[in-house]
Chains A and B, each alone.
Chain A
Amino acid sequence: MSNANQQAVAKYKNNFLKEVEANVEEGHWVKMCMQCGVCAGSCPLGPHWEHSPQKIFMMIRAGKREEVLGSDSMWMCTSCYNCIVRCPRKLPITHIMHGLANYSHRLGLAPKGQPTREIAKLFWDNLVKTGRVNELKFSLAMYFKDGFGQGVKNAMAMQGIGLGLMKAGRLNPMEIFGGHVCKDKSGVQKMIAKAREIEDRRKSLA
């Protein structure tokens, strides 16, 4: 169990709802759910996750901390916003799902190898390095995340699109050598570090 996780368990004891309200983005909305189930029925990924949003909200209120934070259900959200549009209580369900995913990730409880999580990590690491997303490096990192052999296969499968992008001037092969950066690279990094510090202090994750 990670240090931050132990601290969170100690601080909120068995009140997982309070923990979610304090630490998860839009978490204060969880108690507003009236369990009508319209989000579950409206989710296009519905058949693919274990717990529907309204079930997750009920699990939070029932204190099922490990089951919720270890679940990959909230990682399945594609941000289509169908649930938000239809929710009769106007819960920002999409945002809560992302908030829960982020919180479980920060506590080190998110399922290992979950593809959405892996891609999010690659994207973030890529972005904070230079303050700009390097599409070439990001694509390659995605292709090769499951090993060299699979990476080559992925790259071959995608080569038509890659060539097309290059012809259209949307993908520069020279980006592999460093690539474009923003004007004040170290300033951006400092800013992100500071934001992280403030957030960690607020959520007791430091």
Chain B
Amino acid sequence: MTASIATNQTILVVGGGISGMTAALEAAECGKQVLLVEKTPTLGGRTAQLYRYFPKMCHPTCGMEINLKRIKGNPNVRVMTMTQVVAVAGSRGDYSVTLKVAPRYVNENCTACGKCGEAVKSEIPDAYNYGLGKVKAAYLPHTMAYPQRYVIDASIVGTPEGEAAKAACPVNAVDLGMQEEAVEIKVGAVVWATGWRPFDANKIQPYGYDRFANVITSVEFERLADPHGPTGGKLLRPSDGKEAKNVAFIQCAGSRDENYLRHCSRICCMASLKQTQYVREAWGDEGKSTVYYIDIRAIDRFEDFYANVWKDPTVSFVKSKVARIAENEANGNPVLHGVNTEGYHRYATEHDLVVLAVGMEPEVTGVKLPADIVMDSSNFIEGSKDGGMFGAGAASSPLDVNRAVQSATAASLKAIQVIHKNASTEAA
């Protein structure tokens, strides 16, 4: 069994969202060496972009803080942000991985004082808010960002603004000469925690996400409700800033559909049920939520949450996949057309705002992964044929935060088993 002997005892975790952080920490806290790489400038991933979790309705900042504290306090984890995996060679126990590190233009001296941001006028779309707002081209990704270091956007490098940011920095942290770097590393096992992305709602043409300002996605609604979001936590609709009191939620927007995503994304029912409570939180009894659904999949212990939302008089349910959305041009209200299959009633119903409960698509869809990686029909990662690489969290299946953490722990355990089969244990 020489082929399975690990020559390297480092575990590489790809992706720094909740799954990647969990997988890295579980292994590191077992005493293993872990390299955690993240494509964006900060850890936290899409979990950090949520306003509240279901079913307890608590804020993700709490869990994030705990995990970041664990990472900061653990010398076994090394974190590299703005880093992508470009190639993986070798096999189980002995992989050579090529990483590409994008320039941040800000070094470790940064204290996140914000002076560079003040010196810069140009703005770029705010990725943290799914592009709903803008940030300065010298920015901290969000308040919980780790590392707490600013990023200078490449668009102002080589311009007077870039120089202004450099001049404004009191600790000499701005380094406009940074270049993209390629790094070669050796690892024994790889955990792919590359996560998910919201399905591109533009593809669902009958819903007019690209045509109607007041048709938004569930992840955007999450940002609207968040005090750190573009509206400061007020549910104001995009077209005219009007208070969105009558909100429709359309389930299976992309999921369970042979034309778009074949799989059930699993989280969207609970996410919409949760979001009806944002409407209640904002407007009390004046708010009104309508959930258009095929069937509600609130699995196991979530049934309770569903039962409580069902009792809420501000929430109503229509058993129907909406056929199409039109717009009342006079007031900008989206108008939903379809047939309620309970009684077969045809409806044309106006709402202030429509939230598409978009499905989960693996973030790596369309990305060239190592040939050895096996994916299912929806591009979720099952693992590698040689048994040295594993999928974790939403990269492996559509999962909520709780289940993603379980999945990541499992993947971490499998990775530990790979590196345990090293030369010293085999000899002994």
Residues of A with Cβ closer than 8 Å to B?
34-38, 40-42, 46-47, 51-52, 54-55, 85-90
Contact = CB atoms under 8 A, between A and B. Distances in A.
A36 B320 contact: yes
B385 interface: no
B346 A47 contact: yes
Contacts, number: 62
B337 A41 contact: yes
Contact of A40 (B257, B294, B339): B339
B116 to A, nearest CB: 49
B294 A42 contact: no
A41 B346 contact: yes
B207 to A, nearest CB: 11
A38 B338 contact: yes
Given A37-B320, A37-B323, A41-B346, 13 more contacts: A34-B256, A36-B341, A37-B338, A40-B338, A40-B341, A40-B344, A41-B338, A42-B206, A42-B324, A46-B346, A51-B344, A52-B344, A90-B259
A89 B338 CA distance: 17
Label chain B's interface by main secondary structure. Answer: loop
A93 to B, nearest CB: 13
Interface range, B side: 20 to 34
B340 A37 contact: yes
A62 to B, nearest CB: 14
Contacts of A87: 258
Contacts of B256: 34, 88
B252 A88 contact: yes
Interface in B247-269: 252, 256-259
B322 interface: yes
Nearest to A55: B344
Nearest to A50: B344
Which interface residue of A34, A38, A47, A90 has the most chain B CB atoms within 10 A?
A: A38
Contacts of B319: 37
B228 interface: no
B259 A36 contact: no
B259 A52 contact: no
B143 to A, nearest CB: 40
B32 interface: no
A162 to B, nearest CB: 39
A34 B324 contact: no
Given A41-B346, A55-B344, A86 B206 contact: yes
